[in-house]
Structure 1
């Protein structure tokens, strides 16, 4: 589906992509077949093999490819494992063209057929127009869609009836194999390459998230941060028999449950004093973005499998997903969790929870507020047990300006391919790489998803539809043309101002 206003060149591009769509799906099938699970150490060789495949694919386009060695990292058991190399690729150096850097990853989350998959997770399987397989939408499909779009321009330069003298943009690629395990080594590499590889980059595009809807395209301009906490309560060095000691000691698990229960009220509001004080004010201009967003509450409930949300309107739901912090409890370590019952009193338990932060919350302040709140609740219990609160992980929120040229070009490309304007959305989850690239490179960063809301990233039966994969390839190709035109217009306007 493309807009009637498509140019002759765009029509030829889209036709080429349609004709070669089965080839593009075969490429995805080859990539999905590689069990590039970066979480499990025994599959590290597969991740490295996947990086080599991606490098070969870029090399076939004529790109200059550098596989950067990141060295070793030590596992908790003391074993040293090689980190997969990071691909730094480059194609085109025309000083008249804008330079667009694409980031993606080719590692995946663990997946086994017995986890509840209807198909083999590492055999791309098409059912009713959906392409099922681990990594299909996160993130092998979008990475390949970008590469397919570049390949289309390369091919049409040779065979097109429409004269394509040069690529519309210069391309750079950053592709890694450890995103699902925390992007180990990437931040250091970006720092090292800030003055070199990124010096001539104008825009950075990331396609590693999903639309808000199953059908309507979206562009993402922000994501929440995340502060992860451990709260540990310990009474002794060994577990105790509940028949011998139950009723005469302060049990750690009871203390912990009271602490966890104090964090959030039944309406979802966080009970930690001061936690909402520094949140960025919601502007009228920002609120207008919410009005046009297509968001189906029932569809979202179906995607989640729950019967009722805490809030009843689109605006309330989106505000609490994007603009307000949330607190989630994730588990308790040390408590018996196997089937059946074990009548022991655990000596030490660790509660795990996280707070999704929004601008302008300060991580160090949040950490202090959490600690003070839990210590205050604990002191009122008059428990002799030991309390320890820690924040092992903290990631800051990310926010971009939707009026930047890169967003304008992507919006036009979406209108051309899908026939409608995209929703401008934020992401309730945390996307550390977006903040990382923006902070280190000081370049414009955009999240440009092509996957639908029901793609099931990280879940069983992950998929990308044939439609989204192929139309996603088209929209990336259209984006190359749009950002080139917009960049040229900005340059001409700047020259006119300078002349005057």
Structure 2
């Protein structure tokens, strides 16, 4: 086993440099969903390439084509491939990260400029992308540099893939990974992703699964143009009324999905799995306080964890086409589109879920005897991911966590969806692990996203120890 104490010391002694780099990355508004900011996303991919090049990596930019928006055709951000080390006697781990972020405006409720990293007196670093995923992605660069500057041999071969469309469903990446499985990725032994968070704030975690997702649009149209409610109210069957009726029939206030057959594919709970939930160090009350919710659906940690990970959930996200500005507008919208998603769990197939949803909504629409036009569309979706947590990669990661944090990690599933986990696992047939850096209160995708300095620096030490252990399991 290599002695990496010098590597860990280098990380601690160069914290100012690592903070400066994160500030530079956060300052770039690489919002992948905004076509106007696409140049910033591309610039961010190129900055990552430059940083890897400085470390002597063999990098290549992979063009994945164009994206057609409602108004124009714009280039998709390229994907960065690279490699450090090509020793046939070493194992090869592929690292994945993304450099695009969610939208963020001060007017959304941010206390600071979301694209200027702000550090408070508790060491919390606020900024869009700090935790998801610029901090963890940049941490891997810092770790490799720490090995090199400390004159310690990197114990494994490193391959990496950095993309700029993860927040929009990793457009184009699935095909690229499949295309490269017998080329760039052919000798990969393990895949490591750091794009999630701890279950709580006190105990480290390793994630071996994540829910999938099916995102639906349900539209109702009543006219060819918006109508004045004083002229047409009472004369037409309004689209919004129909839509609200349908949306109210999707899920109840306790989170139970009302679509018949939606739970049929869920794998029954086993005794061994139940023990995993019982051993979790997880405080539902702290979880509730972190989001300031008046009450949670489930009281026990076991029920709450299972509700987040092993059972599907349905969330309603919004209505397009309706008046949503401040003030009053007496309009009957000609067409409204409700948006909702179902988080999928293992064994749930997209085509079956799509059939169940469409059949149910079409049947409910018939019941209200409306003369309006209904359309239900599955916009996009991805299956759930589950990995084998008994293999050597998870053993290495558990040992590394124990060395760095002094405790055994919890093994968890992630309630969110990370499509790339499934892309790698299905294309390569290799074990995939998620090693989170952030905490559950980092507010990723929300206002005032943050990453604690302690997690940033300690996470780098964990990454270094993980590849050190991986070389010997």
Q: Compute the TM-score of the two structures, normalised by the length of structure 1.
A: 0.91
Which moved further from structure 2: 370-379 or 469-478?
370-379
Aligned to 1:489: none
Once the 2 structures are TM-superposed, how far is the Cα of residue 295 of structure 1 from its aligned partner?
1.3
Q: In the alignment, does 2:44 pair up with 1:50?
A: yes
SS of corresponding position for 2:3 = helix
Answering whether residue 186 of structure 2 is matched by residue 167 of structure 1, we say no
- CA distance in 2 between counterparts of 1:83 and 1:342 reads 38
Alignment correspondent of 2:25: 31
Question: What's the CA shift for 1:93?
Answer: 1.1
1:73-472 matched pairs, under 5 angstroms: 73-77=67-71, 79-127=72-120, 128-157=122-151, 164=152, 166-472=153-459
* Deviates further, 260-269 or 85-94: 260-269
CA shift for structure 1 position 132: 1.7
CA distance in 2, matches of 1:459, 1:263: 25
2:219·2:337 contact (CA, 8 Å) conserved in 1?
Answer: yes
CA 53–344 in structure 1, closer or farther in 2 if over 3 Å, else same:
closer
**Which one of the candidate residues 52, 55, 60 is aligned to 2:54?**
60
- d(CA) in 1 for partners of 2:388 and 2:45? 32
CA shift for structure 1 position 298: 2.2
In 2, distance between residues paired with 1:454 and 1:19? 27
Query: Which is further off, 240-249 or 349-358?
Result: 240-249
List runs of 5+ in structure 1 lacking aligned partners: 1-6, 158-163, 487-500
Select between 333-342 and 141-150 the one with higher mean Cα deviation: 333-342
Quote how far apart the aligned CAs of 1:105 are.
0.8
- 11 and 145 in structure 1: CA distance in 2 versus 1, 3 angstrom threshold: same
Q: Partners in 1 of 2:165 and 2:48 — Cα distance?
A: 14
Q: Secondary structure at 1:101's aligned position in 2?
A: strand
| Contact 2:2–2:468 (8 Å) recurs in 1 | no
Deviation at 1:203, TM superposition (A): 0.3
How far apart in 2 are the matches of 1:462 and 1:435? 26
Q: Once the two structures are superposed, what CA deviation does each residue of 1:68-125 show, in whole Å capped at 9, x if it has no partner?
A: 2223322221x23222221111011111111000000111222233332222222222
Deviation at 1:248, TM superposition (A): 4.5
C-alpha contact 2:8 2:461 (8 A) present in aligned 1: yes
2:268 counterpart SS class: coil
Alignment CA distance shift 1:46-1:365 (3 Å): same
Distance 2:344 2:96 in 1: 24
Structure 2 stretches lacking a partner, 5+ long:
none
In the TM superposition, what is the alpha-carbon distance from 1:236 to its structure 2 partner? 2.5
| Counterpart-to-counterpart distance in 1, 2:194 and 2:176 | 20
The residue matched to 2:472 in structure 1 has which SS? helix
What is the distance in 2 between the residues matched to 1:48 and 1:231?
A: 33
User: Does the 8 A contact of 2:104 with 2:128 survive in 1?
Assistant: yes
**Secondary structure of 1:226 counterpart:** strand
2:64 — aligned with what? 70
Q: State the partner residue of 1:492.
A: none
Structure 1 residue 8: Cα displacement: 8.5
Q: Distance in 2 between matches of 1:430 and 1:72?
A: 24
Q: How many residue pairs were aligned?
A: 472
Measure how far apart 1:318 and its partner are: 0.9
Distance 2:334 2:38 in 1: 36
The DSSP-based 3-state class of the residue aligned with 1:485 is coil
Per-residue Cα deviation, 1:280-311 (whole angstroms, up to 9, x for no partner) = 12221111111121212222112222111111
CA displacement 1:388-430 (0-9 Å, x = unmatched):
2111111111111111211111111000000001111111111
Q: Indicate how the Cα distance of structure 1 residues 344 and 25 shifts in structure 2: closer, same or farther if over 3 A, else same.
A: closer
CA RMSD of aligned residues (A): 1.7
Cα pair distance change 1:32/1:325, threshold 3 Å = same
Normalising by structure 2, we get a TM-score of 0.96
What is the rounded CA distance, in whole Å, between the counterparts of 2:45 and 2:233 in structure 1?
55
Distance in 2 between residues matched to 1:81 and 1:319, nearest whole Å:
41
Report the 3-state secondary structure (helix = DSSP H, G, I; strand = E; otherwise coil) of the residue aligned with 2:219: strand
The 3 A distance-change label for structure 1 pair 360 and 484 is: same
SS in 1 for 2:113: coil
